[in-house]
Amino acid sequence: MKMRYTIKVLHTLGNVTGALTYLDKALAINPKDEDTLYEKGVFLNKLGNHTGAIEYLDKALTVDPHDVDALNHKGVALSNLGNYTGVIEFYNKTLAIDPKNTFALTNKAAILDILRNNTTSGIAANPMQYRNSIYGIKLQYPSDWRVEGGSNRYIIASFYPQRDYRNHVIVQIENLTTSYTPNQYLNSLMLGDEADYKAFPDIRFNQNTTNNIVLAGHPGYLLNGTFRDPTSDALQRSTNIGTIIGDKVYSIIYYSPAETYPIYNTIYDQMIKSFEVIPQNRSAATSVSTYDNRNYGIQIQYPSDWTIQESKSSGELINVATFVSPTGPDSDPTADVSIYLDKLHNSTTSLDNYAHFVAFTDYD
């Protein structure tokens, strides 16, 4: 019992290597203890030894073939190795035992999206282009991802896989009041201050470098870290790649639950490579993209630097999508356009009658 408690404490403190030492001691006493074999597989996976993780998870599954946690984490290890077909096999085994297992359902859907839309797990051959002429940036992203406008004065846009909102990539721009080199700015990120990290007291930075890091053709920095979600306590991973051009820091940050991080990492890398800083022009016309919603049979063109917010509402009046213009320096969009679909009870309603109805309807 004392050894178990020590392992738990070391895990909480982020001392994975120390926890492995105690797991080995436990296995020396009982080499067939299923819980210990499973825990060692999980810890090896966190250290990046995915092949070793599979070895111990297989041993755990030999003792208990119905351990859904071991099945799920073998799926995670296989995902880390890029074996997406194998991942599906083990999530299916979990679902055969527990058809409502949220972990397996969510991660299986994400893998199937990759296998269905892009066998290389990267940006599809027909990518979308995000262009924001106000802030002077553009980059490519998968056509089946959702884009949302900035949520604060630093975040310009957020990109999400349509069916997995736990993972997202944000583009951020910060105006500097002090001159920094990429290395100096990286150090400032790691040090931070109490206000920056007060919601994440267990944040850990496990990789930081400026060697061979380039963003938009300029020398940059890379910062990898982990933290626990304050609401769910789930382990999260983040990668921040940025550069300094003039008096601005441009950064692209990938956030993901630890177990699904490898799934979209290739897409993140390709978004990094496609990122460009372009001349700012607040009045210039923008390029045009096409919104295609096959569920409702709708297709419409819109400015490429506008973002799309799709609604999950249901009922008689459905807000299918809202197109939002880029945010200005005050973080407020200048315009938005919405598409609504209204289900009529009377199929003979004329356009004039419906227009009269809309004019006098109180939507509040």
The 10s digit of each residue's pLDDT in 251-284 is: 999 999 887 787 788 889 999 999 999 987 655 5
pLDDT range class, residue 119, cuts 50, 70, 90: very low
Q: How far apart are CA 352 and CA 339, in angstroms?
A: 19
Cα three-residue angle 236-255-148, rounded to 5 degrees = 140
Residue 87's pLDDT band, with cuts at 50, 70 and 90, is confident
* Contact assessment for residue 303 and residue 134, using Cβ atoms and an 8 Å cutoff: no
Distance CA 312, CA 315 (A): 10
Q: What is the dihedral of CA 186, 188, 190, 191, to 10 degrees?
A: 160
Q: Please, which contacts does 235-240 make with residues 24 or more away whose CB atoms are closer than 8 Å? A: 237/261, 239/265, 239/268, 240/189
CATH 3.40.1000.10 positions along the chain are 128-277
Quickly state the pLDDT bin for 149 (edges 50, 70, 90): confident
Closest CA to 185 of 193, 176, 172: 176
Instruction: Look at phi and psi of residue 153 and say left if phi exceeds 0, alpha if psi is from -120 to 50, else beta.
Output: alpha
2-117: CATH topology: 1.25.40
Do β-strands 307-310 and 168-175 pair in parallel, antiparallel, or remain unpaired?
unpaired
Task: State the pLDDT confidence band at 357, using cuts at 50, 70 and 90.
Answer: low
Q: What CA–CA distances, in Å, run from 218 to 137, 174, 183, 269?
A: 14, 16, 13, 16
Mean pLDDT to the nearest integer, 289-298: 80
Q: Give me the percent of the chain exceeding a pLDDT of 90.
A: 27
pLDDT recorded at residue 333: 57
Residue with tokens 């945010």: 327
Half-sphere exposure of 64 (CA within 13 A, CB side): 16
The whole-number average pLDDT for the span 195-210 is 79
State residue 116's pLDDT score.
64
Handedness of CA 277, 279, 283, 287 (dihedral sign): negative
Asked if 274 and 139 count as a contact pair (C-beta separation under 8 A), the reply is yes
Residue 318 or 314, more confident: 318
Residue whose token pair is 């897409």: 267
Measuring CA to CA, how many Å separate 297 from each of 29, 118, 146, 185, 300?
Answer: 63, 23, 18, 48, 10
pLDDT of residue 40: 86
CA dihedral 291, 295, 296, 301 (to 10 degrees): 10
Identify the weakest region by mean pLDDT among 144-148, 254-258, 355-359.
Answer: 355-359
CATH 1.25.40.10 in the chain, residue ranges: 2-117
Cα separation, 193 vs 160, whole angstroms: 29
The answer regarding whether domain 128-277 maps to CATH 3.40.1000.10 reads yes
Work out the burial of residue 39: count CB atoms within 10 Å of its CB; fewer than 13 is exposed, 13-18 middle, 19 or more buried: buried
